[in-house]
Structure 1
Amino acid sequence: MEKELSVKLLSGQSNGIHDESLWKKVWIESKKLWVVAGPAVFTRISMFGVFIIAQAFIGRIGNTELAALSLVFHVLIRFSIGILMGMSSGLETLCGHAFGAKQYHMLGIYLQRSWLVEFVISLPLIFLFIFAAPILKLLGQSEEIALVANTISLWYIPIFISFIFSFTLQMYLQAQSKNMIITWLAALSLVLDAFCSWVLAKKMELGVSGVMISMIFASWIPIIGQLIFVFSGGCPQTWTGFSMLAFADLWPVVKLSVSSGVMLCLEIWYNASLILLTGHTKDAKISIDGLSICLNVNGWQLMISFGFLAAASVRVSNELGRGSAKAAKFAIVVVIATSLAIGILLWALILVFRHKFSYIFSNSEVVAEAVSELSILLAFSLLLNSVQPVLSGVAVGAGWQSVVAYVNLFCYYVIGLPLGVMLGYVGHLGVKGIWMGMIGGTASQTLVLIYFTYKTDWDNQVLVAKARVNRWVLQPSQESDRNVD
């Protein structure tokens, strides 16, 4: 299927891509791809690294505190991240189309509208952090862990609020390929987080509070830096100041943001359900230990895949906004091929070192055996994850979020989860059966998106993108008349 997709998309490269040799075209497109993908990958790894640092320091304080941190992160933070990150992908579509169409002044308006929409949506979610203890008790957690988790969750509120600005600023800057400022600030925040955690938690003996204070600093430092960069002239074409027009025509932004949020939430919650289901299997402790190691590897690889998701979205939306269907199709082929090559490499490494790589995380031979049994499933998950997020990025770039939300709902929750439950519990395959069902859901979603991408009339998508830009576009003079800066 992927070979057919490549043949079709590569045929007839005129009118959007110049008549250079194929390898030169690939080289040019790859450079454009890595301008977005490289910094995006590093930024996401840095964000994941902040949690790993917190986990390392809190793990030395006590097992209860570590369990509480993990619960808050995997239950509350992943839930809220799914909503806010998903909603921000709507901004990614709008900014990408506008930038490609050279309607640069609209990017700042879209950014402000997204701030307004996400701030309103986030207000009810804050209550999840305030009432974390009773929520976790309802989920079956002990009172001791729930009370500690409630304390940690209150510290997490400023971090949660930072996501509103963090994700939207990333989408805004990525659409313009201004990723390096994000990368440098992410690296700075990671280093400062490690240093501050060491000083506050270990030297000053502030414990959990010290670690959380450090996480708050690490979350807001990149945002403050990016805001200074934007406001001080780093984006002269796209930021012309605050405008009252940000309050106008919000409903289309709300609809696109909500459909984007649903699309990504269904993916994130689907993956989270794997470990929840595993907790009810026989020998759950060993299963979860082995699964946790596999999910750690899977998590690091997803940071790479999400970087390519961002790159696919930016390249497709820019080319559609510019009016070049053939260039958009060529960008899809290059980004899928690049990400798939990395996935094949990781797939091979896991299979070759399936009996050994678990010792990086644990000295237990029992856990190593559990990881070895799961490694084949891990390998094929990594392979699928090298393609599926990229196709989601293509969907974001084209503005298909509402359609993909229905695809995700059917493939994940009608096919994947029931199949996993049947194989895991009815078929007595345990965690392997659950994971096989999850892979089945992801594979079916990937095949649907490949078919959808293959059959799409990309010339018509150019018209759709132009209509979307024209629908919300404001003339620069009109926008400046309502400027409040």
Structure 2
Amino acid sequence: MDEHTPLLYPSPESPAEDTNAQCTGVSGVYHRIGLRLVGSLIVDSIPVTLSYILQNSTQTVSILVTGRLGPEELSAAAFSMMLAFVTGWCIALGGGSALDTLGSQSFTGGNRPTDLSIHFQRCVILLWLLFIPVAILWAFIEPVLLAIGEPARLCKDVQAIMRILIFGAPGYIAFESLKKYLQCQGIMRASTIVLILVSPINLVLNIFFVHYTPLGMLGCPVALSITYWLCFILLILVTLLSPTHKANATWGGLQLQAAMNLKSCFGFLKLALPGILMVGTEWAAFEIVALAAGKLGELSLAAQSVIMTTDQIIATIPFSFGVVASTRVGNLLGARSAIGARNAAHASALTSVLVGSAIMTAMLAARNDFGYMFSDDEDVVRLVSQVMPLLASFQIADGLANACGGTLRGQGRQHLGAIFNIIAYYVLALPIGITLAFSTRMHLGLKGLWIGKSICFGSVRRLTHMILGQVIGLFTVGTAEYIVVWLGTNWDKEVEKSVVRNAEEAKRRTLLEQHE
């Protein structure tokens, strides 16, 4: 399968769909799915996974290169990248989820092929506008950090880095939006190609600006800003050269007046803001766990760094399944194929279980020696081996959560994911994790924090079960989430919503053209 292969399985015009419609129940759905659909999801997820790994590595490289200057520079760079993720990049990734809905549905069901390009332009402009208050925060972040008790030197250095990074943020947002625009068309490899080309350039830029110019530590954000804009520019070139993009004919030129239609912008923000909240709350909770680990001592902090680095890399795999699921479901809803959309949703869940099981097995098998990849300290390796089973235990649940989240984004139900994250992380996971870590009666240390992290993929009803048995409990919760998507989705109604969205957009565009 490649980017010229039809994205929709099964095709809305497929005669087999009528026959398959007679099958009912879970077994009937999986009988219809078949290995071809599962295999196509895995194939599509590979370039997406590589893309996000490479994208995350650009910041990791900046931290490592800057860290060679000394521990204070390392702390400032790492803290700045954490803030960038939680407050800035979540706008690009979360806000871009509106394009998962509107763009993917308009690609197959829009009045004109160029409707997708209008959604893309609207996405870039609105996300840039949403970044403005974040840019102001970054420019004056020092007093905020001082207020929460961070060291004065760190606060000053972080503010200096963030002020420079402001210039790179629009490039990051535009790159993410263009990536989504291409993914809506089933073009998954373009961003991977760009990042493969840019990654060594990013390394060279960081080494040059940090170690061979007077900028020193501030060379890190300069290099990153150049990298983000370079990614966007190169992705434009790759898009223009893409035969699939040319065949789709989705680009209709700059149409800013259509893109900034007030009603259309309001509809976009109704999806984008919950998407930002969904991503931001999850990442913020993750960083709170990291900060809390620092209070447990140097040994726990070292082991936590190993676990977090591992989790960040592995998390790109289930996240990629969510991206592919949102595109598939959105495309099929736009094509008015309720059965096809349902099959794609359940195939994504099935694939996530299979891949999550493989990852969990590998992590459990390697837990005793895994820590040696990062440290020669026996105590760190031993602590990593103790915490690793907890990290492994929620891989299946993580995959299911991402697959179901992708389905919800494809449907336009981002608000459900946001509500779930707020309850799971801030009502359940963090209070329980911190209590288990710091309670005098139940002092589980780093294990306690990661028990809390595991609970993030649970529901209120399953709380006690998850505490009693992480692996069994998390598998049950992941299954329960899947059942909720199964029982709580009227696929015919979702198709109707897609038709209405596309019709309203076409009507606004027609009125605008008549007015001109």
TM-score (norm 2): 0.84
Hey, what does 1:7 align to over in structure 2?
none
**Distance (Å, rounded) in 2 between the aligned partners of 1:297 and 1:343:** 15
Q: Which of 85, 88, 94 is 1:86 aligned to?
A: 94
- State yes or no: 1:348 paired with 2:361: yes
Q: Which of 148, 156, 163 is 1:154 aligned to?
A: 163
Hey, what does 1:454 align to over in structure 2?
486
Hey, what does 1:302 align to over in structure 2?
315
Alpha-carbon contact 1:231-1:239 (below 8 Å) kept: no
Is the partner of 1:363 in helix, strand or coil?
coil
Hey, what does 1:238 align to over in structure 2?
250
Change over 3 Å in CA distance of 1:369–1:394 after alignment to 2: same
Hey, what does 1:105 align to over in structure 2?
114
Hey, what does 2:464 align to over in structure 1?
none
Note the alpha carbon deviations across 1:259-285, whole angstroms, 9 max, x for none. 22122222222222211232333xx22
**Distance (Å, rounded) in 2 between the aligned partners of 1:40 and 1:478:** 38
Hey, what does 1:14 align to over in structure 2?
17
Q: Which of 110, 115, 131 is 2:124 aligned to?
A: 115
Q: Which of 177, 195, 217 is 2:204 aligned to?
A: 195
Deviation at 1:86, TM superposition (A): 0.8
Q: Which of 32, 37, 46 is 2:45 aligned to?
A: 37
**Distance (Å, rounded) in 2 between the aligned partners of 1:297 and 1:119:** 31
**Distance (Å, rounded) in 1 between the aligned partners of 2:271 and 2:450:** 32
Unaligned runs of 5+ in 1: 1-11
Alpha-carbon contact 2:400-2:481 (below 8 Å) kept: no
Aligned AA (1:461): E
- State yes or no: 1:439 paired with 2:454: yes
Hey, what does 2:329 align to over in structure 1?
316
Deviation at 1:329, TM superposition (A): 1.8
**Distance (Å, rounded) in 1 between the aligned partners of 2:148 and 2:84:** 12
**Distance (Å, rounded) in 2 between the aligned partners of 1:200 and 1:417:** 39
Q: Percent identity, aligned pairs only?
A: 23
Note the alpha carbon deviations across 1:26-79, whole angstroms, 9 max, x for none. 343245424542221111011111012112211111110110011111134322
Hey, what does 2:467 align to over in structure 1?
none
Hey, what does 2:435 align to over in structure 1?
422
Alpha-carbon contact 2:326-2:407 (below 8 Å) kept: yes
Q: Which of 354, 365, 373 is 2:378 aligned to?
A: 365
Q: How does 1:27-426 map to 2 (within 5 A)?
A: 27-30=35-38, 32-34=40-42, 36-103=44-111, 104-203=113-212, 206-230=215-239, 234-235=245-246, 237-243=249-255, 244-248=257-261, 249=263, 250-281=265-296, 284-426=297-439
Moved more, 466-475 or 346-355: 466-475
Note the alpha carbon deviations across 1:198-241, whole angstroms, 9 max, x for none. 34434557532433332222211121123345568845621101
Deviation at 1:157, TM superposition (A): 1.1
Note the alpha carbon deviations across 1:110-149, whole angstroms, 9 max, x for none. 1122222212211010022212322222232211222222
Note the alpha carbon deviations across 1:387-422, whole angstroms, 9 max, x for none. 211211111111111122222222222222222233
Alpha-carbon contact 1:36-1:310 (below 8 Å) kept: no
Unaligned runs of 5+ in 2: 1-14, 23-27, 460-476
Alpha-carbon contact 1:105-1:476 (below 8 Å) kept: no
Deviation at 1:16, TM superposition (A): 8.9
Moved more, 63-72 or 130-139: 130-139
Aligned AA (1:468): R
**Distance (Å, rounded) in 2 between the aligned partners of 1:54 and 1:117:** 28
The structure with higher relative contact order (CA 8 Å, sep 6+) is 1
TM-score (norm 1): 0.89
**Distance (Å, rounded) in 2 between the aligned partners of 1:326 and 1:372:** 44
**Distance (Å, rounded) in 2 between the aligned partners of 1:164 and 1:37:** 21
Is the partner of 1:38 in helix, strand or coil?
helix
Deviation at 1:434, TM superposition (A): 2.4
Aligned AA (2:252): T
Aligned length: 469
Alpha-carbon contact 2:172-2:229 (below 8 Å) kept: no
Q: CA RMSD in A?
A: 2.7
